[in-house]
Structure 1
Amino acid sequence: MEPGDGSVFTGFTLGLLTIDLDRGTVSGEHGSSGLTPRAEALLLLLSRRANALVSREDILETVWAGRVVEDAAITHCVWQIRRALGPTGKDILQTRSKRGYLLVVPEDARVTAAAPPVESSAAATDVAPTSDAAPLSARAAAATASVPSQVIASAVRRRRWRFPLVIALAALIVAAAIPLWRWWQPAGAIVFDPQVEMSAAVLVPPSLGWLRDTLLRKTIEQAHLRDIDVVVFQRAQVDNPFRGPHLQVRVKRGDRQTLDAELILQQGRVRIRERYRGPPEGLLDALQTLLTRHLPAIAHAPGAATDAYVAGRLAEARFDRATALLEFQRALTLDARMGDARIALAGLLFEHGRAEDAREAAQSLVPAKETDPVRRCRIERLLARIAPDRLGAAPCPRAGMVARVERLQLQDALREIERLSAQPAGAGEWLEQEDALILALLRLQELPRAQYEIERARDVAQRAGWLHAALRLQTNLGPLHMHRGERGAAAAAQTRIARDFATLGDQASAAESRVWVQRATPIVPGPGLVARREELRAIVEQARASGQLRAEIEALLLLARIDRDRSDAWRDHLGRARQRIRDARLDGGNSLHPYFVVGEVVGARRYTDALAEIQVLQRTPHPHPRAPAWALYLQVESHFWRDELDAAVEGIDAMERAGLDISASPNPCFYAWVLTEARRRDRANAYFERCNDGKRSPEQTDYGLIASARQRILDGESAGAWRLLRSRIDALLAIREPSRQEAEALALMARHAVGLPGADPRRLQAARQTVERIAAREGAGPGLRLGAELLRGALCGTGAGERCAARALPEWAPEDLLAVRLSRPRP
């Protein structure tokens, strides 16, 4: 009913928002809705057509006044509304693929205005007689007004005692009905479609861990024999948002003689519940009977290969991935045609960072040869992650979604994810979809929306009892905070996640999160590095013991970063990382780790060695979609610091010719500086726009700041250059104990400020003292030591420097020809 037609219905209360249709306003808990005007207009349109589909054409016509806008504009407004609505935002505002949007509003969400007061009998005598044409409410009011007030009062007194009695009786009926409903369930059956996934949780006291394994093994075995995948959850559910059925076995109390347990199999509104009291072996029989009665007929005969596969899946559920790999390999030895074991083996190898081994394991999986569309899609979903080059022209939608993210076709991927999110999904499909969505948003630098999606998906997983998925989704907080330059927040989040993974028993994932903590924690030269080295060595051992190759390589690279001043240790760490890469055949596989090694060589300012390694990598075909961008970025950086500007610009030209996404590259701000020094002003300005989009960390934007200052210097506007650099220098000087990277940035800013009109000698002197103090400590690294030398040399003779004696630069300094040239005292 439209507002303003005499109805007492005025709007809705949805989640955390109140929509007032009479006034055309949207408000939140504390007044403001937090939505943009365009998003508010969209929400009002959907509210006026609540529970009805609103097409995109209608939205454009009403909210955008018929103007042509990209689909992303509507999608962004929808995201804002869902975030403002709270955790149930996606349930309230639903997407209908290729059709539009639907705002689902239950009856109890309606807001009604207070009814007008009934006038007294004295006033009612002045009411005019009503006609048949008068509204029904007006005729009822006139009839009531004609009844003597004494009669009305008497009727009220007679009925006053009846109302509480009715309420009490209804409460008794409800109280009696609830337990009856819990024990008596309507007739129904668990219905499996061909692509369904089943979830299961076995909850037992800690002393009965052996029983949990036994019950899980039986569940996995019976499901596998019926071609059903099982996803294991860790806690009891609040609700099950996934398409498949959920099995929960809960042992409330018991010992080795007697158990008190319940078994629940639920899908949608169908809920089968059984109580059990007796010996432990009887519970296993009760579970077998429940599954046999309600699951589909057995499709495979049990055998030795099945036993090995089930043992592998059980090891996975315990997070014992090393055992799981051995069992899957044993299953394939017993039956080489066992596709489920091959899919599980390839997926687990890839998860551990052994990309080439995963590709080899999946070599015999050819989607085109599969006649079963469900199994074909499972293979395509696997190949989309580990070997996207082997996908056919038209993979199933979920495989296509993953492949688009891997190929950096991010906007296309977001549209596909939005379409798929409108369809019910099994637990594994849902997690795959959420991972793809969050990764796409992070790569697009849409950080507020990425944070919302991480928190929303985490809440869904927690309510479902899937703690491992909730933690896995939260690992995205590390890169999210790092993109924002919030290193402390990234380290704190990953520390908590690593602890929770370890509590669940997943040591491999705990090692990865511990690596993230070390990556996010700045290197502060000094005695604290002893503890950092010990922590990283422990991570290397934990990662190797749990089979997590990726975490092991990255921990070795972090050790190398700390030990750049210790040549022998540095070479040893890099040599071990290279060996692990060769062992896993990642030097030509779908992995960026060979480029991370070259990045450390560049960081150690060994540019000639880095360029030689880049040439080797470029001669090897590499399937990773970001490999060309990384190779060219490292090439540009090496040539730039060697003062080979033409070669550096050629690297940027090659990126542009290849159509690589510069915004997603390691640092477009650096390209702005390269093109500024090469006197390519117009092109430099284009990169400034990407650099200053508000999505870069301070470590990245420092290069953009230097580029802006250099442009002013080259244009003869040096005074403006000092104003640009001064605020950053002050911010770095305010840090009580700067890290290596912050001290390097201070040296960079200060030495470019020397000689500028208006430059404050006291600030520059304070910068020199800070830089030299940190550079004198263990672990300063060649970049900071060179920065200290160049700053001292630039200040010599300007009145701000004290020591002007000639000092030889380190042996590797001749490679930094550009830094040395730009730091010479200006006339």
Structure 2
Amino acid sequence: MTAPSPVPGDGAILVVGDVRIDLRYRRVMRPEGQAELPQRMFDLLLVFLAEPGVLHTRDTLFERVWPGVVVEDSNLSQSVWMLRKALGEPRKHWIRTVSKRGYVFEPPTPVRAEPIPALQADTDERRREPATAQATDEVANPPISGKADDAPDMPVGDGAVPMPDAPPPARPRRRGDTIPAILPVLALVAMWALLLAAVLPSTPPRQTDAIAPVLPATREVVVLQADTGEADDATRAPVALLDAWLSWKLDLLPEVVRRDALPRSQGPGTRWVVVLSAEPIAGSPDGLLLRARIGQGGSGDRRDPPDLELIERGTHDGLSAAVDALSQRIVARLLPHRADARWPALSLPPDIARRHAAAFEARRERDWARARSEAEAVASAMPTFAPAHLALAELSLRHNRTRDALSHIGMARRGLAPLPADALRILDAQAALVDPRRQPEAARALADLSRTFPARADFALAHARLLLRSGDPRAAQALLQGTAIDWTLEPQERRIRRQLLLTEIVGTLGDLDTARTQAQQTLAQLARLGPGWALERGSVRMQLARVHHGQASQTPSPALFELAAGEFEAAGDTLGARYARYLADEARRGVAPGETPSMRVLREEARSAGNAAIETEMLRREAFKHYNAGSHGEYRRLLRDALEVANASGDTALQDALEFDLLNQDVLVGNHASAKARIARLSRGTHTDERVYWAAEFDAMLHLRGGDVASAQAALARAERRLTAQGRALPRTIAVRLACVRGDIDLVRGDVASARRRIDACRHAEEGYLRQWSQILAAQADLLEGDPAQARVHLAQIERAIDDMPRGTDHWIMVETVAALLARVREYDRAERLYGTALQRCEDAGYELLATGMRIGLAEIAMARGDRARSRAIADEARRQAPSDAWLLQRRLDTLDLIDSLHAGDPAQTRARWSQLHERARRHDDGVLLAELESLAREAGFDEAVGLRRDAASRALPGATLDWLSTDPSR
């Protein structure tokens, strides 16, 4: 299987309906008997158990159950049949066949795990213990009236705190990911530009196939500090320290959903509230009483009767020990299954403990400067105290200081032992998320966490961020707009982060009007929140500035970037401020290339901070300025420099954006070996984002150029299967582009009817370039059908569009293609004029493959005009430059040689060249060339000599002839 084993334990048994599945011995146990299953069939069952109610396509099942193995299609049908038989006749309908698609597993109940017998006995023994109260430090009260009637009766003293009924385990059908507590609101102010400008970013998160472990139901917890009026520091600091230490633990337990407050309208019984307080002990100058009142849905008022009150006695000098002990007891009462969990001990000197509490309070009040100062003091005094380093990592990331954040996370990780396994899992995911080199690892871990715990909004935010960075904005948008999380109940900071991310997503998708509206709404909301939100205001202003400059109709407005810079400066983010001012300068300078002193300073600062995103974006922006200025060699050099920066950082999203830029260049200059290597890198992994298609299109282009039509079709089909796995719809932009490319392939094969259907879809593209390309395809189809008049109409329209295009690679590709078609309708002068406008510029830019195609076109025109000597000279030069594996170029050169032999009156050489070319066309499935050659043989009268029968002449492609090239143009 492609996923780790889903067993929650070696001896676990899964239960669904009246069937029990023994994971250790791989058998199915039914009331009427049991059956042991072979490995592949059991793996297939695990896939179904992991995702009930989901359409599993046949291709997906082959990839997950038989990875890397070539098997017959009937193997899957046979395995499903045997699996139904193993489940038993009454249950065979649990596996529903979806005609021509796959299968859906539809059991009558959710999948759950049966506790291991030893654990079950321990649980029963605890429930039989009498309810006792520790009168010295605990006061137990009856359960509040809001408890559900069918909730289990649990003792309130030494037993567990009564909890609401656990809902049945949710089906693991969501996609998810997490931004942990250590991450900032916006990781990189540069990311907006990267996502808007990149051809396509990369490395999307891989979904695991494991069944979610069966864990206790989600607990919603509110931790409040009791309102004690004008309390002095002697009682305020201990409560803040207890809050900091308890909240840190709860945030690392994935089944806990933390709330900042409980609206009274929610009523009792909706979640658990822990109210913390401290008071001096009468008669003891150093004595301290820490108190935790635990109840369901209370407001925090001391007059509200709690379900349970926990008390810990201590001293100011021994504050850390008292806080540590009480936090352990609170966790055990809220989460009985965590009662034996081991955590690092809280062991801080009294003065350092108070500074850690002060740092926590400053963070809560959004006093970032004081939070950093206090955290730095704690970390300096106690270098192994992990929470201080985690706080500093968060603060470093807020200011785009990736290298500092990684340093603090490394120090924190070394000081965190022991930890519960789930807490360690979250911390490792957090560390991986910060490290650009570990993004794929973070994606896997966070996707699994968010799918297992869909109520955790922080997991969903991080997953969405990773999906966006990896080139799947639609999946990120769907995740943030799903119904698993009630965002109105989330803390305001988290809601703001979601709004910023949604704005980023719609901007990336090209809906700039919606992005502007959303950003303006968020800015209005932030304006009412005070100085602690300056960084978020800067991020929104940056979004508004980018949206403004992303619309061609808008006049450049450097002031918009200056406003963002001012907010970043107020927030202490000097790198963000410098970057925003760099963009303001760019808006003033316009398109003129050339590095300025301020750009060099910013690059150095970004490199020092470990912020590869800003550095690569600057290089990429400068590269495109050179491209627009016609300096294509400098454009490629700067892209390679940017890729070196991205490679050094290990950030695969940055690497892939640049790999796509350079892949396009490899294809244009004809460096096929480099292009194939880049395609292999870009196609790695099991992701299903749109990047899969772009790599496949380049792959198909190379195969088609080499004359391997079948492999070109297969590359596109593989990408389509991956993009539509598990019933996903193919994005419209990709569907339209796919139709265009397949139409091109159909025309090479000579299947005009199929090509026409593709062209109809292609002409509805949103991109003007694709609409123009659909006209080119239509003109080719017209020619093959023998309608040159209609082809001329299409070509005239495209010529007008070409004249209005900016001079660059898109323009030159259009020129090369349209001029070749004009020659075929005997518009030799117009074709030659088009070649003349572009050939020299292509050569100067280093796009030798395009230039070679244009030179072959000029040789064809010379041959058609009867100037064989000039045609041979030009063709000989082109052959020296054409790659030997470029079939679409070599076939044209070989055709010129054939026509030259025909005009030279050498029948033996003509027939030999004809036979060789005909055989190669047949091997390459080049239907058009086959038709052209056979038409030429009949017209020239050597058809019988080469084995063609006159009565077998096909009229499927009446326009596929070489008359335009082989006859006197005066006719």
- Could you tell me the TM-score, scaled by structure 1's length? 0.56
The structural deviation recorded for 1:356 is: 1.4
What is the distance in 1 between the residues matched to 2:578 and 2:46?
Answer: 41
Cα displacement (A) at 1:616: 3.4
Taking structure 1 as reference, are residues 380 and 451 closer, same or farther at Cα in structure 2, changes over 3 Å only? Answer: closer
What pairs with 1:209-248 in structure 2 (closer than 5 Å)?
220-224=240-244, 233=260, 236=263, 245-246=273-274
Give 1:350's aligned residue. 397
Residue type at the aligned position of 1:535: L
CA distance in 2, matches of 1:386, 1:420: 21
Return the alpha-carbon distance in structure 2 between the equivalents of residues 59 and 593 of structure 1. Answer: 58
In structure 1, what is the equivalent of residue 608 of structure 2? 583
Amino acid at match of 1:454: L
Contact 1:599–1:634 (Cα < 8 Å) also in 2 = no
Give the structure 1 partner of residue 845 of structure 2. 814
Please say if 1:647 is aligned against 2:674: yes
Shift of 1:583: 3.1
Match 1:273 to one of 293, 301, 304: 301
Deviations 1:627-660 (A, max 9, x none): 664554343223123232332123224556x668
Alignment partner, residue 687 of structure 1: 715
User: Are 1:757 and 2:782 an aligned pair?
Assistant: yes
2:431 is matched with which residue? 383
Equivalent position amino acid for 1:684 in 2: A
Match of residue 637 from structure 2: 609
Seen in structure 2, the aligned counterparts of structure 1 residues 677 and 342 have a Cα distance that, compared at 3 Å, is: same
Kindly indicate whether the alpha-carbon contact (under 8 Å) linking 1:751 and 1:823 is maintained by their aligned counterparts in 2. no
Q: Which sections of structure 2, spanning at least 5 residues, go unmatched?
A: 1-13, 56-107, 117-144, 147-154, 164-217, 252-257, 278-290, 305-315, 328-345, 784-789, 862-971
Distance 2:522 2:410 in 1: 35
Unmatched 5+ stretches in structure 1: 1-45, 81-91, 101-176, 179-185, 250-262, 277-287, 390-402, 733-741
Q: Find the aligned partners of 1:815 and 1:493 in 2 and give their Cα distance.
A: 44
Q: Per-residue deviation at 1:548?
A: 5.6
Aligned position for 1:673: 701
Amino-acid identity (%): 13
Report the counterpart of residue 745 of structure 2 in structure 1.
711
* 1:344 CA drift (Å): 0.8
C-alpha spacing 1:379/1:624, structure 2 compared with 1 (3 Å) = same
2-structure distance, mates of 1:719, 1:560: 54
Change beyond 3 A, Cα 1:339–1:730 = closer
The amino acid that maps onto 2:433 is R
Q: Distance in 2 between matches of 1:445 and 1:59?
A: 44
**Other-structure match for 1:454:** 480
Aligned to 1:508: 535
Give the corresponding residue for 2:176: none
Q: Deviations over 1:743-763 (max 9, x none)?
A: 555566666766652666666
AA aligned opposite 1:509:
E
TM-superposed deviation, 1:462 = 1.7
The Cα of 1:530 is off from its aligned counterpart by: 1.9
CA separation in 2, counterparts of 1:754 and 1:512? 48
The answer to whether the aligner puts 1:539 opposite 2:570 as a matched pair is no
d(CA) in 1 for partners of 2:509 and 2:45? 27
Q: 1:458·1:474 contact (CA, 8 Å) conserved in 2?
A: no
Q: 1:407 aligns with which of 426, 433, 441?
A: 441
Q: Distance in 1 between matches of 2:844 and 2:588?
A: 18
Report matched runs for 1:245-644 at 5 Å: 245-246=273-274, 267-268=295-296, 273-274=301-302, 297=326, 303-367=350-414, 370-371=417-418, 373=420, 380-387=428-435, 406-407=440-441, 410=444, 414-415=447-448, 417-419=450-452, 430-436=456-462, 438=464, 453-456=479-482, 459-463=485-489, 465-478=490-503, 481=506, 489=514, 492-493=517-518, 495-497=520-522, 499-501=524-526, 503-505=528-530, 506-513=533-540, 515=542, 523-526=550-553, 528-531=554-557, 533-547=558-572, 566-568=591-593, 575=600, 578-587=603-612, 594-597=615-618, 599-600=620-621, 603-604=624-625, 605=627, 606=632, 607-610=635-638, 612-613=640-641, 616-617=644-645, 621-626=648-653, 629-630=656-657, 632-644=659-671
User: Once the 2 structures are TM-superposed, how far is the Cα of residue 345 of structure 1 from its aligned partner?
Assistant: 0.5
Q: Which has the higher contact order (CA 8 A, sep 6+)?
A: 2
**Alignment CA distance shift 1:594-1:772 (3 Å):** same
Amino acid at match of 1:707: V
Query: Residue in 2 aligned with 1:255?
Result: none
Hey, what does 2:80 align to over in structure 1?
none
Corresponding residue of 1:117: none
Q: Which secondary structure state, in structure 2, belongs to the residue aligned with residue 472 of structure 1?
A: helix
Q: Residue 795 of structure 1: CA displacement?
A: 9.1
Secondary structure of residue in 2 paired with 1:757: helix
Q: How many residues align?
A: 608
Structure 1 residues 366, 725: CA separation in 2 closer, same or farther (over 3 Å shift)?
same
- How far off its partner does 1:310 sit? 3.8
Q: Which amino acid aligns with 1:613?
A: D
Name the SS for the 2:412 alignment partner: coil
Structure 2: how far apart are the matches of 1:76 and 1:378? 23
Alignment check: 8 A CA contact 2:273 2:300 kept = no
Task: Describe the superposition over 1:705-743 as per-residue Cα deviations: whole angstroms up to 9, x where unpaired.
Answer: 5533442444355786576446544555xxxxxxxxx45
Output the CA distance in 1 between the equivalents of 2:800 and 2:598: 32
TM-fit CA distance, 1:584 = 1.1
- Report the Cα offset of residue 469 of structure 1: 1.9
Q: Distance in 1 between matches of 2:30 and 2:620?
A: 47
What letter matches 1:715 in structure 2?
A: R
- After superposition, what is the alpha-carbon deviation per residue over 1:274-297, rounded to whole angstroms, capped at 9, x for unaligned? 369xxxxxxxxxxx9xxx999965
- Verify the 8 A CA contact 1:196 1:244 in the aligned structure 2: yes
**Residues 407 and 500 (structure 1), Cα distance of their counterparts in 2 relative to 1, 3 Å cut:** farther
Alignment check: 8 A CA contact 1:636 1:651 kept: yes
Q: Distance in 2 between matches of 1:670 and 1:59?
A: 51
SS in 2 for 1:273: coil
Counterpart AA for 1:346 = A
Give distance in 1, aligned partners of 2:791 and 2:751.
17
CA–CA distance in 2 between the matches of 1:819 and 1:563?
35
Shift of 1:470: 3.0
- Partner amino acid, structure 1, of 2:400: G
Question: Which has the higher mean CA deviation after the structures are superposed, 704-713 or 439-448?
Answer: 439-448
Deviation digits for residues 409-435 of structure 1 (CA, Å, limit 9, x no counterpart) = 64x7655554456xxx9xxxx344333
Separation (CA, whole Å) in 2 of partners of 1:553 and 1:678: 48
Alpha-carbon deviation of 1:496? Answer: 3.9
Q: Which residue of 2 aligns with 1:87?
A: none
Asked if 1 retains the 8 angstrom alpha-carbon contact of 2:556 and 2:588, the reply is no
- Distance of 2:494 and 2:780 partners within structure 1: 56
1:415–1:333 CA distance, 2 compared to 1 (3 A): closer
Say if 1:600 and 1:459 are closer, same or farther in 2 by CA, change over 3 A. same
Cα distance in 2 between the residues matched to 1:79 and 1:600: 43
| Distance in 1 separating the partners of 2:298 and 2:324 | 14
